[in-house]
Structure 1
Amino acid sequence: MRVVLNAKAGTVHDMGPDKVRDIVDEALTRPDLDVDVVVAEGDAMASAIASAPHEGYDTVVVGAGDGTVSYAASVFANTDVTLGVLPLGTMNLLAYDIGLPRDLMGALEALHDAKPMRVDLGTLNGRPFHGVSGVGFFSQMAMAREQLRDRGRAFGWFMALGRAVFRSGRMSLEVEVAGARESIDAYAALVTVNAFDASGWHRSRLDGGQLEVLVAEDRGTLARLRTGAEVLVDAWRGAPGIHSFSARRVTIHARRRRAWVATDGEVTRESLPLRYALAPAALSLLVPPSAQQWQAHEREVHERDDVT
């Protein structure tokens, strides 16, 4: 196992890289498992991730933000290399989605008992991602949050919310599913790999085989502010003006050539249309047995075996 930790992560900075390296090594090493812990940043961190399979590592744990985890998922997509995650970033969406504790020792304990599970990925214009991709309000929110990173978690979120609401303009979107198009005047669209249908921004399934598209209809500034706040507290599903679609392939058209898109926390300038597709069971992910997604997977396996 190779463990790649972001040297700029708050936990690493506060505790010191040598101490964190020793803690991680001691927590994850077993008689049948050698662990190599790398503390790096930037290109060196990406290189340590990408080179791991060629150097004989069959499991790579990434302790960084969702963007770096998404990069690792794209590197290991459709391979036998298993990805593990430690919540050392700002959002840590995937880590918390599978129930990893927020503290380092708790996360390491859960990771120690985790098992490989094949999970779905999505692709945006051919590039894999593990969780969410958004345009309009969501991309503005991601950019504002990055600019306000040093303002503190809660205060920074609310400042970013205000900026995102007023920077998000109306978009004339066409959502294409199975050849049929629906036109919507919207201020946001979000595509997720399987639905975040459980409380606390969790997915009940990681291998459900569907993309979910949520489009927020433009109803004015107050409606944007209300929906934005509902997004932060996970109360926007089913709210007025939210259109929902599920499919394995979704294309989003707009009357513009390019748009800012936030995908797993990283904002990029993308050419339109935005072509999303599901990549079923594309990634081997370490998931704690206590995670609801693992339990749902196990139930399905047992039911399939009973039928057979």
Structure 2
Amino acid sequence: MITKTAMLLVNKRARNGAGRIDDVIELLRNGGMEVIEPHVNEQDSFADVIRRNADTCDLVIVGGGDGTMNTAAPGLADTKLPFGILPLGTANDLARTLGLPASPLEAAKVILGGVTRELDLGDVNGHLYFNVASIGFSAELARILTSEAKKRWGKLGYGVAASRLLAQSRPFTAFIEHDGIIEQARTLQISVGNGRFYGGGMTVETSAQPDDGRLDVYSLEISHWAELIALLPALRRGTQGRWKNVRAFSTTGLTVRTRRSHAVNADGEIVTRTPATFKIRRRAVTVFVSEGSE
């Protein structure tokens, strides 16, 4: 049997990251995999650790939520090492997009199965992301929703924080440049998706796939926050583009400018500010998936 070496990186601050994963490691080793856990300095990102130890392994296993996957993305893209996901976060939207099991032990079995899929990555001002980047309401939600709140309340924390923020939210003016045109919008939120799910189960577009070569964009051009409540079922299904007050389109690149600088949230983390230029990096990373995954 050919033994493969896996670099295991677990975010202990993720919602379920502090739990014991000895059974996962035992399963991997019984499956013929050597597991190494490199030292992680306080100032290191997972991308730094992956780059530094790339020559010592055949694959990377990342345990955590979507923010953890985001921190690993640049290292995975640079080294081209395939990676497996142990879903240990609050929302685990990337794992859900890929149809991975919610159980870390079952997810480890997927890694042992050896089936891989190449994924695109979104890029906003040079920052990579798997799922969705947003300007406006979602970015403000990411700013106020602390890691402690996520850990304590789980997905409920999103709802509690969102309800508090909603009444304070006001539309802003944005200029959206794409495909040779510039559109002006008065909007509550602009979202640019590479994957399908984000924000604890919201859907950027019902048919979106993380390897379809497109960015799915929507702008919530509503005049009052109360309209967002009516939109919630559509936002969960990914059909919000059918509403008259929602601008939606697909593209391979765009730039969003705002009169006042706004934060940009990518995979639940604030990474940059407007003006924001979005691109897509085709087949940038390789991930382990279940047999028969789309």
1:268, distance to aligned residue in structure 2 (A)? 3.3
User: Counterparts of 1:31 and 1:106 in 2: how far apart (Å)?
Assistant: 13
Are 1:7 and 2:12 an aligned pair?
A: yes
User: Counterparts of 1:267 and 1:140 in 2: how far apart (Å)?
Assistant: 9
Work out whether residues 114 and 286 of structure 1, in 8 Å CA contact, stay in contact via their aligned partners in 2: yes
1:178-217 counterparts in 2 under 5 A? 178-193=179-194, 201=203, 205-217=209-221
1:255/1:40 Cα in 2 relative to 1: closer, same or farther (>3 Å)?
A: same
1:180/1:233 Cα in 2 relative to 1: closer, same or farther (>3 Å)?
A: closer
Percent identical residues: 24
Task: Report what 1:253 is aligned to.
Answer: 257
1:128, distance to aligned residue in structure 2 (A)? 1.6
1:148, distance to aligned residue in structure 2 (A)? 3.5
1:284, distance to aligned residue in structure 2 (A)? 1.5
Match of 2:278 among 276, 279, 304: 276
The amino acid that maps onto 2:212 is G
1:157, distance to aligned residue in structure 2 (A)? 2.4
1:173/1:129 Cα in 2 relative to 1: closer, same or farther (>3 Å)?
A: same
User: Counterparts of 1:45 and 1:95 in 2: how far apart (Å)?
Assistant: 21
Task: Report what 1:136 is aligned to.
Answer: 136
Task: Report what 1:296 is aligned to.
Answer: none
Task: Report what 2:69 is aligned to.
Answer: 69
The amino acid that maps onto 1:136 is G
Task: Report what 1:164 is aligned to.
Answer: 165
Work out whether residues 6 and 40 of structure 1, in 8 Å CA contact, stay in contact via their aligned partners in 2: no
Work out whether residues 91 and 155 of structure 2, in 8 Å CA contact, stay in contact via their aligned partners in 1: no
Work out whether residues 202 and 235 of structure 2, in 8 Å CA contact, stay in contact via their aligned partners in 1: no
Deviates further, 35-44 or 170-179: 35-44
The amino acid that maps onto 1:169 is R
Task: Report what 2:270 is aligned to.
Answer: 267
Aligned length in residues:
283
1:30/1:117 Cα in 2 relative to 1: closer, same or farther (>3 Å)?
A: farther
1:206, distance to aligned residue in structure 2 (A)? 2.4
Work out whether residues 144 and 160 of structure 1, in 8 Å CA contact, stay in contact via their aligned partners in 2: yes
Work out whether residues 194 and 203 of structure 1, in 8 Å CA contact, stay in contact via their aligned partners in 2: no
User: Counterparts of 2:272 and 2:17 in 1: how far apart (Å)?
Assistant: 31
User: Counterparts of 1:9 and 1:67 in 2: how far apart (Å)?
Assistant: 9
Task: Report what 1:176 is aligned to.
Answer: 177
User: Counterparts of 2:252 and 2:130 in 1: how far apart (Å)?
Assistant: 14
Task: Report what 1:301 is aligned to.
Answer: none
User: Counterparts of 2:31 and 2:164 in 1: how far apart (Å)?
Assistant: 51
1:288-303 counterparts in 2 under 5 A? 288-291=290-293, 293=294
Q: What SS does the corresponding residue of 2:174 show, helix, strand or coil? A: strand
1:29, distance to aligned residue in structure 2 (A)? 2.8
CA shift digits 1:65-121 (9 cap, x unpaired): 212211211222154311221111112111121111222222222232242222111
User: Counterparts of 1:33 and 1:12 in 2: how far apart (Å)?
Assistant: 21
Deviates further, 178-187 or 135-144: 135-144
User: TM-score when scaled to structure 1?
Assistant: 0.81
Task: Report what 2:3 is aligned to.
Answer: none
Task: Report what 1:115 is aligned to.
Answer: 115
CA shift digits 1:124-183 (9 cap, x unpaired): 012221111001011122223327335523542221121232333211111111220111
Are 1:238 and 2:242 an aligned pair?
A: yes
User: Counterparts of 1:191 and 1:114 in 2: how far apart (Å)?
Assistant: 31
1:261, distance to aligned residue in structure 2 (A)? 1.3
CA shift digits 1:11-59 (9 cap, x unpaired): 343x44xxx1x32222223675322245868535635334231x42231
Q: What SS does the corresponding residue of 2:43 show, helix, strand or coil? A: helix
User: TM-score when scaled to structure 2?
Assistant: 0.85
User: Counterparts of 1:99 and 1:215 in 2: how far apart (Å)?
Assistant: 27
Task: Report what 1:24 is aligned to.
Answer: 24
RMSD after superposition = 2.8
Work out whether residues 177 and 183 of structure 2, in 8 Å CA contact, stay in contact via their aligned partners in 1: yes
The amino acid that maps onto 2:289 is V
Runs of 4+ in 1 over 4 A off after TM superposition: 38-42, 232-235
User: Counterparts of 2:94 and 2:122 in 1: how far apart (Å)?
Assistant: 14
Work out whether residues 27 and 112 of structure 1, in 8 Å CA contact, stay in contact via their aligned partners in 2: no
Task: Report what 1:57 is aligned to.
Answer: 57
